[in-house]
Amino acid sequence: EAQVTQNPRYLITVTGKKLTVTCSQNMNHEYMSWYRQDPGLGLRQIYYSMNVEVTDKGDVPEGYKVSRKEKRNFPLILESPSPNQTSLYFCASSWDRVSYTFGSGTRLTVV
């Protein structure tokens, strides 16, 4: 089944403790992206990647890092999480740069 897999689904962590949210897709898509979803704000893009080793900032990149060492994987790294990064995170991939397949989401709480 074609899908984008994120892990974990739920995560509660403490301020400052580094964490990684993994994302993997099995569709051989070149384009991948991370979004955060907050009430009333819709989806905002954090980072995107156009191919292996090609990444760039989206609209809200502060406090996040990404890497794209393999085509299928696009992890999101929070080096020092803060409470304002409490959010619902989605990874997505695309073959045509605009139509996205989304993962099921990761609900992150930073206390």
DSSP state of 99: S
C-beta of residue 71 within 8 angstroms of C-beta of residue 46: no
64 belongs to the binding site for other proteins (CB under 8 A): no
User: Smallest distance, Å, CB 45 to other proteins?
Assistant: 8
Position among 8, 84, 97, 109 found at the interface with other proteins (CB under 8 A): 97
> CB-side exposure of 49: number of CA atoms within 13 Å?
25
The residue type of 72 is R
The answer to whether the CB of 10 falls within 8 A of the CB of 19 is no
Place of tokens 């139509």: 99
At closest approach, how far in Å is the CB of 43 from other proteins?
Answer: 4
Binders of other proteins in range 26-55 (CB under 8 A):
35, 40-45, 48, 50, 54
Kindly state the smallest distance separating residue 102's Cβ from other proteins, in Å: 4
Contact positions vs other proteins (CB under 8 A) = 4, 35, 40-45, 48, 50, 54, 56, 90, 92, 97-105
